[in-house]
Amino acid sequence: MRLFDLHADTLTACFETSEGLGDNNRQISLRKTGQFDSYAQVFAIFTPDGMEKPFDYFRRAAQYAIVQFYENRGSLRFCKTAEELRSASEQGKTAALLAAENGNILGGSAENLLILHALGVRLLTLCWNGENELGCGAVTANRGLTPFGKRAVRACEKLGILVDVSHLSEKGFYDVAETASRPFLASHSNAFEICPHPRNLTAEQIRILRMRGGLIGINLHRPFLSEKNAGLDDVYRMTAYFLEQGCESVLAMGADYDGGDMAPEWGSIDKMELVCEYLYQRGLDETLLDKLMYGNAYEFFMRNLKRGTT
């Protein structure tokens, strides 16, 4: 089985407790991921709303992440370009991509985007649940991007930082769609029609992401899968709905390990093969499952990560 997961908070958790990425007690460790034929992971560094000096925290955490990537370089490659992603895949190494979750780290300064890019950040989740200088989170209010938020979207595209609309308000989403000239993604978001949580995507948002060549990562956080106690059938229902909406080529996994409320059935990444097997038993064929679990995300990043020097 191949796996390309679009969102995990493992690095943030490891930084907080000084644990290593190779072997730890978290839901993701490199020890647990050795079962995959190919594995790529977007590791997010999360800065909560209301944090004092979030940019300073982010910079320390990013430096810690880079050390972890270096210490595990025998089995892992820190990817900042499409060529590096392809090389990691061909060499059988874990491909690690670095994301910043919450634009509060920018502090309203576009210059901080240059530092993010220099540190290797290639995805920026514009908001978390609250408001920041870019815009508003989906569970706070339905306000759109600020003027600075729109400038930041354009600056991200010039630098080669992919814009992530997970957590963003509905108006903010449409502002991104109007402002962006390149594909963007919702790294860890589900469908509102199946589970009416404000963090989930409406049918129209899903349509726009599909038409724009974006990417959607299914989130395994139970409250985003079902209003009841979610199980594997809810993962199937969510997946089937996205496929009914024509998302066969834009759907991926964004499990939210080490950041979400996980069911025992998928409580750590080494159980992802069981999730895949359940979906197969419910009628998804192997070719389609490989696209959802790996291929769609890989192709998206190959198309949209910048090429050339890092």
211 within domain boundaries: yes
Full domain range(s) for residue 96:
2-304
310 within domain boundaries: no
Q: Tell me the two tokens of residue 289.
A: 């499952």
- Mean residue pLDDT of the chain comes to 97
Q: How many domains does the chain have?
A: 1
Q: According to the model, what pLDDT value does residue 307 have?
A: 79
Residue 79 reports pLDDT greater than 70:
yes
219 within domain boundaries: yes
Q: What percent of the chain shows pLDDT beyond 90?
A: 98
Cβ atoms within 10 Å of 158's Cβ, excluding its own: 11
- Region for residue 212 given its phi and psi (left: phi exceeds 0; alpha: psi -120 to 50; beta: otherwise): alpha
Enter the DSSP assignment of 33: G
| Averaged pLDDT for residues 133-143 | 95
Q: According to the model, what pLDDT value does residue 276 have?
A: 98
Confidence bin at 119 (pLDDT 50/70/90): very high
205 within domain boundaries: yes
Q: According to the model, what pLDDT value does residue 309 have?
A: 55
**At 200, which CATH number?**
3.20.20.140
Q: Which of 85, 131, 99, 106 is nearest to 10 (CA)?
A: 99
132 within domain boundaries: yes
Residue 310 reports pLDDT greater than 80:
no
pTM of this structure: 0.97
309 within domain boundaries: no
Give per-residue pLDDT as tens, 48-59. Answer: 999 999 999 999
Give per-residue pLDDT as tens, 217-267. Answer: 999 999 999 999 999 999 999 999 999 999 999 999 999 999 999 999 999
